[in-house]
Amino acid sequence: MHTDIHAFCRLGIVVSMAYPSCSNSEQDYHESLKKLLIDPTFQVMEIGSLPFSSLYESVPAMIKSAHCDCTYSGHSLLFAKKLNINSLDEEERVQAVQTLKKGIDEAYAMGAEEFQFLSRGYEKGKEASYLDALIASTNELCAYAKSKGSMPVVLEVFDHTIDKKSLLGPSSLVKKYAEAVCPAYDNFGIMIDCSHIPMIGESIDEAVEPIKQYIKHVHVGNTLISDPNHPSFGDYHPRFGYPGSENDTEYLAAFLQKMKDIGYLTEGGKNILSFEVKPQAGEDADLVVTNAKRTLQDAWRRVQ
């Protein structure tokens, strides 16, 4: 495409992934966020539970001053407490739901336009039971978010067997899940990430077609799954073209073409397309972010 991709979506970036050092101190967080906010490439900052309490006032103010938007990821809330939102243990499931409800409160307080979460672990052979538990939890979260305002809730699809080992997962399960939740809640949708698709073992078409009408948010990134002994193996989001990795310009172009074909990327559209990229050992974060922007430009030129 020769038209600027900004005419088809809003570009975003996951702040803590792009600049892992932002969790070191309040100053590091401010400096990292500012680098992204002064770059007009980005219209959306993807944040989550903040590492220092003082940031809850300054971060939303910075984002607002830059005329930028933000979303809120609740993933770390579950990771930190090792909670399973689709647990078959009802006490744990309820605790996970309550934890994410607090995250929804934070998201509203910070002015976020969307709340994100993910499914968690499962036992092979019991996927149906775990899916029922996830549906019950999601219904509660959607109802709670709706009671507070108009902020949508989205579930991000992760890998099923490699790293996060999340229930969702394969598109067949994602479809059953979305079909169960969406008729009851119009504030719900699915997030996909092109870095997770190779980990699930699906092609772009296999991952997208069954759930295309439910996709409300998209991440782009890369993964390395060719060598289980490599320190970047799994869900570590290396830069595009990282040695031994799966995704580079050609793959990203094919993914963007699919997003355009299904109407997610459409001229005049405001859907979010966000980078999830992370510097690997010894890499410079600024260069990794630039890699992402340059790769996106090159890939977008190939989209018809």
User: What is the full per-residue pLDDT of the chain (304 aa) written as tens digits?
Assistant: 679 999 999 999 999 999 999 999 999 999 999 999 999 999 999 999 999 999 999 999 999 999 999 999 999 999 999 999 999 999 999 999 999 999 999 999 999 999 999 999 999 999 999 999 999 999 999 999 999 999 999 999 999 999 999 999 999 999 999 999 999 999 999 999 999 999 999 999 999 999 999 999 999 999 999 999 999 999 999 999 999 999 999 999 999 999 999 999 999 999 999 999 999 999 999 999 999 999 999 999 999 9
Q: CA 99 to CA 110: how far, in whole Å?
A: 17
CB-CB contact of 190 with 154 (8 Å): yes
Element (H, E) at 29: helix 26-37
What does DSSP assign to residue 212? G
Kindly report the backbone phi and psi dihedral angles of residue 118, in degrees, each rounded to the nearest multiple of 5, phi listed first: -140, 160
Listed in sequence order, the residues at least 6 apart from 282 whose beta carbon sits closer than 8 Å to its beta carbon are none
Amino acid 1: pLDDT:
65
Q: What is the CATH number of the domain that holds 144?
A: 3.20.20.150
In three-state secondary structure terms, 33 is helix
User: What is the total count of domains within the chain?
Assistant: 1
What is the reported pLDDT for 258?
A: 98
CA 146/CA 98 separation, integer angstroms: 15
Instruction: Give the distance, in angstroms, between the CA of residue 130 and the centroid of all CA atoms in the same chain.
Output: 22
Structure tokens that stand for 34 in this block: 């500012």
Instruction: Tell me the two tokens of residue 241.
Output: 């073209």
Predicted pLDDT of residue 68: 98
Which of 73, 47, 51 lies closest to 60, judged by CA? 47
Domain hosting residue 131, numbered range: 5-300
Return all residues near 134 (Cβ < 8 A) that are at least 6 apart.
85, 86, 119, 167, 168, 177
Closest CA to 18 of 36, 43, 39, 38: 36
CA torsion angle for 253, 236, 115, 258 (degrees, to 10)?
Answer: 20
pTM: 0.97
Q: How far apart are CA 220 and CA 90, in angstroms?
A: 34
Q: Where are the beta strands (DSSP E) in 80-178?
A: 115-118, 153-156
Are the C-beta atoms of 23 and 32 separated by less than 8 Å? no
Task: Identify each DSSP E strand in 43-86 by its residue range.
Answer: 44-48, 69-73
Instruction: Map residue 26 onto helix, strand or coil.
Output: helix
